[in-house]
Amino acid sequence: MSTPVHAPHLFPVAGNELVVGGLPLSRLAERVGRTPFYAYDRALITRRVAELRAALPVDVHLHYAIKANPMPALVQHMAGLVDGFDLASAGEMKIALDTPMAPDKISFAGPGKSEAELRQAAAAGIVVNLESELEMERLARLGESLGLRPRAAVRVNPDFELKSSGMKMGGGPKQFGVDAERVPAMLARMGELPLAFHGFHIFSGSQNLKAEAIMEAQRNTFDLARRLAAHAPGPVRLLNLGGGFGIPYFPGEPRLDLPAVGEHLSGLMPDARRAFPEAELVIELGRYLVGEAGIYVARVVDRKESRGQVFLVTDGGLHHHLSASGNFGQVIRKNYPLVVGNRVRADSEAIASVVGPLCTPLDLLGDKMPLGHARVGDLIVVFQSGAYGLTASPTAFLGHPAAVELLV
């Protein structure tokens, strides 16, 4: 008997079956009526938010970055848990405004916002995180034409980097935000425009598992915001410190030391309060809130042997889950944690690879994993699938049926 490899252990196992939303997985699959599907566990999301609240200073607010998982039911659930939303398109704005979240707790970032999106944002009363000087002029003109004074924050491309970040989004030349050294001139101009200065958004990167790197970035972020605030046309009402909290995807990856991050941030708070007495301080997180609460489930359709290697061919693949195939920005392909969900503990040590139905060798969900005990009809589970799953995948590629999504 071998135990499942690297399973995150957030989902219980009973009678050798994974239990998801209180149901054995095979029963849940019957309830859904088809495979493949994504299931997101609301209790795990609620628990994660509570852990964050316990670790972070009470006056640091939590925002959810909808891009990580925009499923409407999940965003509705999140609306009752977090203090605000961050979004990056008019599509996400619709999902956010369908929830009870107050518009002034919603902010809109992202380069290349269209005039239509800026008008919608102004009309909605949400905060626009400006990504360029041109966008600032546009927002002011559109607001004026609507007889409104839009709330505007400046997204700053910092003059430092988030070290050890899986995805750097600040420091050096970037398409995101306005270079820190240009922000003082921009703020002077903003004072002449019919815009309500709201604050700063300083996001330096994501998927970081090193507490020290996040702490250093937070220190640098406060310093930078203090320098820039001296040039602002009004008080800072919102200081978005970014996020970047990572989750472990691969064997051997450590968990982020959340208590250490929280303690360090608490230490920065007295100075921050003095420097920004009117500001709401915000941490914005995507995957850390939802990534570990989601699984992707596909059924084994065929079991093949080719020159000594076993392939489990499933009805799911990279068209639903690009990141598990290793093709969503990864440099080296590594296996996500996988189990046979209805036969979790193996009765053999047999090795197999899990592939999908697409006619491309990229369609690989698990490479040579101890899943060789799986049979045709079994359910393969991919953990760590609650963020950047379905909506980050090329769903039209090869024309297979869509995956179902459920919140359990």
Ligand X SMILES: *Cc1c(COP(=O)(O)O)cnc(C)c1O
45 within 8 A of 82, measured Cβ to Cβ: no
Q: Which is nearer to ligand X, 66 or 313 (CB)?
A: 66
Nearer to ligand X, 209 or 407 (CB): 209
The answer to whether 316 and 358 have CB atoms below 8 angstroms apart is no
- Find the shortest distance in angstroms from Cβ 404 to ligand X: 23
| 275 or 392: CB nearest ligand X | 392
| Tokens describing residue 82 | 């977090």
Q: What CA–CA distance (Å, rounded) separates 361 from 106?
A: 41
φ/ψ of 189, rounded to 5, equals: -65, -40
Question: Is 363 within 8 Å of 356 (Cβ atoms)?
Answer: yes
CB of 18 or CB of 282, closer to ligand X:
282
Shortest spacing between CB 44 and ligand X, in angstroms: 16
* Number of Cβ within a 10 Å radius of residue 42: 17
Quick one: 206 or 323, whose CB is closer to ligand X? 206
Q: Collect all residues with Cβ–Cβ distance below 8 Å to 197 and sequence separation of at least 6.
A: 152, 153, 187, 190, 191, 232, 233, 234
CA separation for the pair 104, 106 (Å, rounded): 5
Q: Which is nearer to ligand X, 157 or 207 (CB)?
A: 207
CA angle 374, 377, 381 (to 5 degrees): 60
Total Cβ atoms within 10 A of residue 334: 13
Least distance CB 166 / ligand X (angstroms): 8
| Shortest distance in whole angstroms from residue 71 CB to ligand X | 14
Distance CA 397, CA 266 (A): 47
Residue 365 CA to residue 337 CA, distance in Å, equals: 10
Question: 406: helix, coil or strand?
Answer: strand
Structure tokens of 167?
């995805």
CB of 290 to ligand X, least distance (A): 8
**Minimum CB separation from ligand X for residue 127, in Å?**
13
Q: Which residue is nearest to ligand X (CB)?
A: 286
Minimum distance between the CB of residue 91 and ligand X, rounded to whole angstroms? Answer: 15
At its nearest, how many Å lie between ligand X and the CB of residue 59?
20
Of 62 and 369, nearer to ligand X (C-beta) is 62
Report the C-alpha gap between 215 and 302 in whole angstroms.
48
**Residue placing its CB nearer to ligand X in the complex, 52 or 352:** 52
Q: Which is nearer to ligand X, 18 or 202 (CB)?
A: 202
Interface residues with ligand X (CB under 6 A) are 65, 67-68, 86, 109, 203, 206-207, 243, 284-288, 387
Least Å distance between CB 10 and ligand X? 18
**How many whole angstroms separate alpha carbon 355 and alpha carbon 142?**
50
Distance CA 344, CA 374 (A): 9
